[in-house]
Amino acid sequence: MKKIFLTPFLLFLLVIPQLSAQTVVPNASFENWTSYGNYSDPTGWDTPNKELMSIPLFGFTVVTKSTDHYGTGSFSVRLETKHLTFPSMDIPGFMTCGTLTINISAGTYSLSGGAPVVDKPTHLKGYYKYAPKGGDSCVIGIGLTKTTGTVKDTIGFGVFSTKDTISDWTPFSAWIDYTSAVMPDTMNIVAFSTAQTTMTPGTVLFVDGLFLDYTVGFQENNPEAGIQVYNERESSRLMIFFDFPKSESTRINLINMMGQCVFSEDAGSVEKERRIIPYGAMHKGVYLLEILHNQKLYIKKFFLNL
C-alpha cells in the first residue's frame, strides 16, 4: 500500500523595537472558501482536493469547511486522513499556503512558493482540535526562506506536533528557530492530520485562527555591527547571530546587575555564525550582554527567567 506522508518575558533592549509592518497569514480564520464545482478549498491555500476529486468513482476530499470554529468567525478548516480504494493508499488531510504538486499514482508530493514575509516573527500560533486514530500524530508547521537569484535558503523553521486527543479548541504555539540572520521573503505554512508513514483513516484535525506572534521582540541595536539577538524563552537560551563583512576576533560576556560575569566565551574569528547562551540555571533578573568585536563593544540588556 502506498502512503503520502510528511517527511517531516519579554526581551527588553536598549532600544524599543518598532515594526513598520507585520506579516499576515492569508485567510487565517478560514472564513473565505473558493468553490471549484464539486469541491472547495480555503482561499489562499492549496490542498490535495483537486487531484483526489479527479479520480473517477473513487474521488473524495480530505480538506473541508467546518462550522465547528473558534472565536467570532463562522468556519474553521477540517483535515481528515482517509483511505483511497483505487489506487490503494492512505492520504492525510493537509494544506499549504504555498503550491502543492501531487502525484497520486506515485504517492509523492512537493511544496513550493508561499506567502510574502516582511519581518521575522517568533512564533506561529493558532487554535486546534484533534481526534487521532491508532498512533497518529498531527503537525502544524512553518518554514521561512529567502531566494537570491535561483538559490533558495532556509532561514527559519517551526513545528507543533501532538498525538493527544484534544476535544476542545486549544491554543498551540510553534517556536520559529532561525538558523540565519538573513531576513526571509517567503513563508510556507502547512498542516497535516497525520504526519507519519503509518496512518489510520478517520483521524481528524481542526485548525482555526492562525497568527504570527512577536512576543520575544527583536532589534538590531547596532545594525552596522551585524548582530541580531533572540531570547528563546521556551528553551531558556539567547541566540546570537553574527553577519559581519569579514572575520574578526569576538568575545561574548553575559553580566548580571552585581557586575558578575556569569557567562563568557572567546568566540574566536567570527563572520557569519550563530552562538547560543543557555540561561535556564541562572537567577532571574536583569543582565547585560556584551559583545566585543574588532575592538568595538556592543551592549544589549535583557530580563531573563522572568
Residue 251 maps to which CATH number? 2.60.40.3080
- Same domain membership, residue 243 and residue 197: no
Q: For 270-283, how does the pLDDT look when each residue is reduced to its tens digit (9 = 90+)?
A: 877 888 999 989 98
Per mean pLDDT, which range of 107-111, 114-118, 296-300 is the poorest? Answer: 296-300
- For residue 34, how many other CB atoms are within 10 A of its CB? 12
Residues in Cβ contact with 122 at an 8 Å cutoff, skipping those fewer than 6 apart: 175, 176, 213, 214, 215, 216, 217, 218, 230
* Residues 294, 198 within the same domain: no
Domain shared by 6 and 113, yes or no: yes
Cell of 16: 524599543
Task: Please check whether residue 296 is in contact with residue 5, taking contact to mean a CB–CB distance below 8 angstroms.
Answer: no
Same domain, 205 and 233: no
Mean pLDDT confidence for 28-47: 97
Banded pLDDT at 225 (limits 50, 70, 90): low
pLDDT at 306: 64
> What is the number of domains present in the chain?
2
Residues 98-104 have a mean pLDDT of 89
Q: Considering the chain, what percentage of its residues have pLDDT values greater than 70? A: 89
Q: Are residues 200 and 227 in the same domain?
A: no
- Return mean pLDDT, the chain: 85
Q: How confident is the model at residue 9 (pLDDT cuts 50, 70, 90)?
A: very low
Residues 231 and 198 in one domain: no
Instruction: Check residue 104 and give its pLDDT.
Output: 80
Q: What is the pLDDT of residue 217?
A: 38
Angle among Cα 100, 102, 103 to the nearest 5 degrees reads 170
Q: What pLDDT was estimated at residue 19?
A: 33
Q: How confident is the model at residue 13 (pLDDT cuts 50, 70, 90)?
A: very low
Q: Give yes or no: residues 295 and 191 share one domain.
A: no
Contacts (Cβ under 8 Å, ≥6 apart) of 260? none
Apex CA 288: angle with CA 282 and CA 290, to 5°? 115
Backbone angles phi, psi at 223, to 5 degrees: -55, -35
Under 8 Å CB-to-CB from 237, ≥6 apart: which residues?
276, 277, 278, 279, 280
Domain end point (choices 163, 193, 213):
213
Q: 196 with 256, same domain?
A: no
- What does the alpha-carbon distance between residue 153 and residue 175 come to, in Å, rounded to a whole number? 19
Looking at 174, 190, 213, the residue that finishes a domain is 213
Local confidence band at 21 (pLDDT 50, 70, 90 cut-offs): low
- CB environment 85-116: b (16+ within 10 A), e (fewer): eeeebbbbbbbbbbebebebeebebebeebbe
Which stretches within the chain are classed as H helix? 49-53
Say what the pTM is.
0.70
Q: End of a domain among 213, 236, 268?
A: 213
Q: Are residues 15 and 138 in the same domain?
A: yes
Structural domain of residue 276, as residue ranges?
223-304
pLDDT for 124-180, tens place per residue? 999 999 999 999 999 999 999 999 999 999 999 889 999 999 999 999 888 888 888
Indicate whether 209 and 243 sit together in one domain.
no
Residues 6 or more apart from 223 whose CB is under 8 A from it? none
Asked if pLDDT for residue 267 goes beyond 70, the answer is: yes
SS3 state of residue 92: coil
Residue 30 in any domain: the answer is yes
Q: Which of 17-21, 65-69, 194-198 has the lowest mean pLDDT?
A: 17-21
CATH number for the domain harbouring residue 155: 2.60.120.890
As a whole number, mean pLDDT of residues 282-286 equals: 87
- Tens-place pLDDT, residues 237-253: 888 888 777 777 888 99
Task: Say yes or no: 257 and 196 in one domain.
Answer: no
Question: Which three-class secondary structure state does DSSP give residue 51?
Answer: helix
Does 218 reside within a domain? Answer: no
Answer whether residue 155 is part of any domain.
yes
My answer on whether 72 and 161 are in the same domain is: yes
- Report, as an integer, the average pLDDT of 109-121: 91
The SS3 call for residue 23 is coil
* Residue scoring higher pLDDT (259 or 81): 81
pLDDT score, position 216: 44
